[in-house]
């Protein structure tokens, strides 16, 4: 779909809510993560997926030790923009080592202090923060089920519509829009971003749609397919059509991923309504160029996110983010989603308190 987002690189415009952590509270995150890392020791079996019982027990029993200021900062975004920037967790570039060339290398280095002294500790910090917000989880079919994903530019993937891309615009999308168990919140933590590469965010609650457009986009017309990070081997059963818009007039929600939606199968009226929604999301787009130690908390039920293009160097200095999916057990989703099979993709949810659909 047509887009002019290539030039969006402004730094934290006013519409994004910002939450500053007091220095002592920010330090406490690293201190607690370091204590847990030292207690567990350098064990590749633990750092590989992070879904290791002894680590999970530490996260579950100790995240409450973080100061109230941390817990308050990790609440879901409070404005119609659906996004918060949280700053800043202490971090130095020297402790990171080189940016890995792909998520496999990042996972392998996480348990190797010679390669990246702090990667495992920062994974723990991300899990502690995510547990303050809700219930962190991963995907069996994505990054080997890791609870904390590493987002780095990878050779050979430059033009894909996945987090491993770089020179292509990563189109605005709902994270894992194809799946009924997609995250309520998405947390991105910046480790390195020397070129000020921007993450784009747009809220459906700031768009303007005519009544007929809303009506069309609430109908289940087209499926959304899994993105390439899940592979290409999916069940041959028919893909279910899903509505693009949900919620009510005052609290719209959306599932939006044009790169993986077969729009050519829709009629002209629906495609026009969908394009208008895309244009509106572009109109209200804001860009956050995260700096090391900053977190971006995105309401995945309300906001689509993407990334402006950049040219990777593959010399160990490229942009490096960590990502965690978070479930909010108090939210409920449309009952119709319970019938979706999610193309056979299953979540890794060690902190899940109950099953069933939300909102």
C-alpha count within 13 angstroms, C-beta hemisphere, residue 213: 14
Q: For residues 359 and 340, give the distance between their C-alpha atoms in angstroms, rounded to a whole number.
A: 15
Q: What is the pLDDT of residues 139-178, one digit of tens each?
A: 999 999 999 999 999 999 899 988 889 999 999 999 999 9
In this structure, how many other beta carbons lie within 10 angstroms of the beta carbon of residue 168? Answer: 16
Which residues lie below 8 Å from residue 6, measured CB to CB, with a gap of 6+? 169, 308, 309
Q: For residues 307 and 166, give the distance between their C-alpha atoms in angstroms, rounded to a whole number.
A: 9
Q: Are 171 and 1 in contact (CB under 8 A)?
A: yes
Q: What is the mean pLDDT of residues 13-36?
A: 91
So what's the pLDDT on residue 300?
98
| Residue 115's pLDDT band (cuts 50, 70, 90) | low
Nearest to 132 by CA among 216, 232, 58, 59: 59
So what's the pLDDT on residue 206?
95
Is residue 142 classed as helix, strand or coil in its secondary structure? Answer: coil
Buried b (16+ CB within 10 A) or exposed e, 280-298: bbbebbbbbbbbbbbbbbb
Q: For residues 123 and 119, give the distance between their C-alpha atoms in angstroms, rounded to a whole number.
A: 6
Range of weakest confidence among 106-115, 173-182, 281-290: 106-115
Question: What are the chain's domains?
Answer: 5-230+238-328 (3.60.130.10)
So what's the pLDDT on residue 72?
98
So what's the pLDDT on residue 157?
84
So what's the pLDDT on residue 112?
64
So what's the pLDDT on residue 6?
40
So what's the pLDDT on residue 183?
98
- Look at residue 8 and tell me whether its pLDDT is greater than 80: no
- Look at residue 235 and tell me whether its pLDDT is greater than 80: no
Range of weakest confidence among 53-67, 167-181, 235-249: 235-249
Nearest to 19 by CA among 294, 289, 286, 302: 294
Is residue 321 classed as helix, strand or coil in its secondary structure? Answer: strand
DSSP strands (E only) in 219-359: 245-248, 251-254, 286-288, 295-299, 303-307, 320-327, 347-348
Q: What is the mean pLDDT of residues 307-332?
A: 96
Q: Are 9 and 23 in contact (CB under 8 A)?
A: no
Q: What is the pLDDT of residues 69-99, one digit of tens each?
A: 999 999 999 899 999 999 999 999 999 989 9
What 8-state DSSP symbol labels residue 198? P
Task: Give me 154's structure tokens.
Answer: 């990878």
């Amino acid at each position: 779909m047509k887009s002019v987002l290539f030039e969006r690189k402004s730094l934290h415009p006013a519409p994004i809510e910002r939450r500053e952590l007091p220095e002592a509270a920010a330090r406490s995150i690293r201190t607690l993560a370091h204590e847990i890392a030292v207690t567990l020791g350098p064990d590749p079996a633990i750092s590989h997926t992070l879904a290791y019982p002894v680590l999970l027990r530490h996260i579950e029993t100790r995240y409450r030790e973080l100061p109230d200021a941390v817990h308050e900062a990790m609440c879901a975004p409070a404005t119609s923009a659906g996004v918060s920037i949280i700053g800043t967790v202490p971090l130095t570039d020297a402790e990171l080592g080189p940016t890995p060339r792909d998520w496999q290398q990042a996972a392998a280095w996480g348990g190797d202090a010679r390669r990246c002294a702090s990667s495992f500790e920062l994974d723990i910090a991300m899990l502690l923060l995510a547990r303050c917000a809700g219930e962190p989880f991963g995907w069996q079919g994505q990054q080997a089920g890791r609870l904390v994903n590493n987002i780095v530019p990878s050779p050979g993937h430059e033009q894909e519509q996945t987090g491993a891309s770089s020179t292509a615009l990563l189109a605005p999308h709902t994270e894992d829009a194809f799946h009924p168990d997609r995250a309520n919140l998405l947390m991105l933590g910046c480790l390195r971003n020397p070129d000020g590469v921007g993450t784009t965010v747009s809220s459906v609650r700031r768009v303007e749609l005519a009544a007929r457009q809303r009506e069309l986009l609430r109908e289940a017309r087209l499926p959304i397919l899994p993105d390439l990070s899940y592979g290409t081997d999916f069940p041959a059963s028919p893909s279910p059509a899903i509505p693009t818009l949900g919620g009510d007039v005052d609290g719209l929600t959306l599932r939006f991923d044009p790169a993986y939606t077969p729009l050519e199968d829709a009629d002209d009226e629906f495609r026009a309504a969908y394009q208008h929604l895309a244009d509106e999301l572009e109109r209200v787009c804001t860009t956050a160029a995260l700096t090391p130690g900053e977190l971006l908390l995105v309401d995945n039920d309300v906001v689509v996110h993407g990334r402006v293009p950049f040219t990777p160097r593959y010399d160990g200095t490229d942009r490096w983010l960590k990502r965690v999916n978070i479930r909010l057990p108090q939210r409920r989703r449309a009952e119709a989603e319970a019938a979706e099979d999610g193309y056979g993709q299953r979540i890794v949810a060690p902190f899940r308190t109950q099953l069933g659909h939300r909102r």
